[in-house]
Chain A
Amino acid sequence: MSTAKDTWRKRPFIANPLLRYGLYAAIVVYVVTTFATLPIDWDRIAQGLSRAGRIFGGAFPPSFQRSELLIDGFLESLKIAILATVGGIILSIPIAFMAARNIVPLPVFYVGRAIIIIARSFHPVIVAIIFVKAVGFGPFAGILTLIVYSIGFVAKLLAERIEEIDPGPVEAMKAAGAPFLSTLIYAVFPQIMQRQIGLGIYQLDSNLRASAVVGIVGAGGIGATLANAFGRYDYDFALAITMVIVGVILISEAVSGAIRKRIA
């Protein structure tokens, strides 16, 4: 006769029941007390709701009357995104090589990683605020901001790709007495080119999205147009801009996705 057990339970994530239920209780208590003690002014929220109602009421129907302004804003955003992508990628390639452990000596590696970490640690809006202060309102601040943003993303992923390359060709070039740069050009570049192009296209799409955001803090492009429209209580125009932003981003995402699939 078989005496095999017929009950089985998945082991709980935290084995100790006291610790498990204690942790659940602690989370509940913390969330409830924090919410209760935060200075949330319900009267103001109630007033705000009616204000939100006015904004949305004023926004319908969206107004495309000043479409020239809209188009100009978008073209500027597109220019910002393209220039920032080109500049960002040109700077990302050497930084990525500096941040690849299998290519450079340890001190250089730390410098490369540090640049990437700094570029990644601030949200584009914060970087934009700094650059707007530094070089003034307008698209140039936007371009600088998005270059920093591009480096943080492209250089990091490219460095990871460089660290994954097949070391065989590098060994072969070394054995043939090739100089350092020639080795990179022949043995490393061909292996990372595909990823580089994919990242570039993705980053262009991403920069276009981000350029709308950083424009709000004064870095030019459609974001600036949107901020102005809000400032002037032109809620109908603001809605039109928002709709077009969503549309353009959907299109650019579809296009970049299609291209990246093709080259994969």
Chain B
Amino acid sequence: MLKITSLVKRYGAGDPVLKDLDLEVPGEEVVSVIGSSGAGKSTLLRCINRLVEPTSGKIFLNGTDFTRLGKRELRVGRRRIGMVFQSFNLVDRLTVMENVQSGRLGYISTWAALSRRYPKEDIRRAFELMERVGIAHYANKRADELSGGERQRVGVIRALMQQPEILLADEPTASLDPKTSEQIMTLLRDLARELKLPVIINIHNVNEAKEFSDRIVGMRYGRIIFDGLPQALTKDAMNEIYAGVPHEDRKLEGAAA
């Protein structure tokens, strides 16, 4: 279970990007986070694994307070959180297998990584997962030879290789065409169920969010202003989430203060 309490992220002296935000993701559910650009979706996700350092607040993953981890503990802790990226973040010049195995780098020694001597069970797991998403025959291809959808499959498998306790996906389909995008969303939903894995997805496409998630969180200017079932996301709720621009919100807040 992921539990975030009063999370604040502030860059410099300006207004915080995240304002006293609370979020709980209990079990195996797919949560979509929607909101206009600049609402803080990406910052929220990156605070969870501390790719972005939170200013204050607590983040508990199955009992561990991630905000209190030291440098080394954080590195070990990050193995428990898988992440999928908008631009895939694969290493183009490495093979698909090497990219997949890079999800295990936190577990294997630097020497094993350098000499590509991966443990047998890691190789088996990689082939199983690649088979599951239909890219096993690409194991020896270079990552830049693959299409966008195939590349994101590699990205997802790499994250799953960590055997994570939660999966974070930062706009995983924003660089893909609509059809491929649906395939990846289907894949994320199905894998989440099969592996009993909670998934948090930042997404711009509201229809996809409604179709593929168990719960939707709407963010506007650093706060969660909607949290409920996809059916509950009415036109009014949508308008509230997407209405206005961050700039105007900022003015309003300024007037209130």
CB of A172 within 8 Å of the partner chain = yes
Q: 1/0 contact trace for B147-159 toward A, CB 8 Å?
A: 0000000010011
Nearest A residue to B93, CB-CB: A190
Q: List 20 A-B contacts (CB under 8 A).
A: A171-B51, A172-B89, A172-B90, A172-B158, A173-B105, A174-B51, A175-B49, A176-B79, A176-B105, A177-B75, A177-B76, A177-B77, A177-B78, A179-B105, A182-B110, A186-B91, A186-B113, A190-B93, A191-B91, A194-B93
When distances are taken between beta carbons in the complex, the residues of chain A under 8 Å from B87 are 168
Query: Which residue on A lies nearest to B113, using beta carbons?
Result: A182
A binding-site residues for B, Cβ under 8 Å: 168-169, 171-179, 181-183, 185-187, 190-191, 193-194
A35 to B50, CA, bound (A): 66
Count the A-B residue pairs with Cβ separation under 8 angstroms: how many?
Answer: 83
Binding site for A on B (CB under 8 A): 49, 51, 75-79, 81-83, 85, 87-94, 98, 102-106, 108, 110, 113-114, 155, 158-159, 162
Q: Closest B residue to A175 by CB, please name it.
A: B83
Residues in chain B near residue A169, CB distance under 8 A: 89-91
Given A168-B87, A171-B85, A177-B79, 19 more pairs with CB closer than 8 A: A168-B89, A171-B51, A171-B89, A172-B83, A172-B85, A172-B90, A172-B155, A174-B51, A176-B79, A176-B106, A177-B76, A177-B78, A178-B105, A181-B110, A187-B91, A187-B102, A191-B91, A193-B93, A194-B93
In the complex with contacts A168-B85, A168-B89, A190-B94, A176-B113 CB distance below 8 A: no
Residue numbers in A under 8 Å from B162 (CB-CB): 176-177
Pairwise interchain contact A176-B89, C-beta atoms closer than 8 A: no
**A174→B110 contact, CB < 8 A:** no
Q: CB-CB < 8 A to B78: which residues of A?
A: 174-177
A183 to B, closest residue via Cβ: B105
B103 CB to nearest chain A CB (Å): 5
CB distance from B115 to the nearest CB of A (A): 10
Question: Do A186 and B102 contact each other (CB < 8 Å), given the known contacts A172-B83, A177-B76?
Answer: yes
Most interface-central of B91, B104, B108, B155 (chain A CB within 10 A): B91
Q: A178–B51 contact, CB under 8 A?
A: no
Task: Say how far B50's CB is from chain A's closest CB, in angstroms.
Answer: 10
**B98 proximity list for chain A (CB < 8 A):** 186
Among candidates B76, B89, B93, residue contacting A191 with C-beta atoms closer than 8 Å: B93
**A181: which B residues are within 8 A, CB to CB?**
110
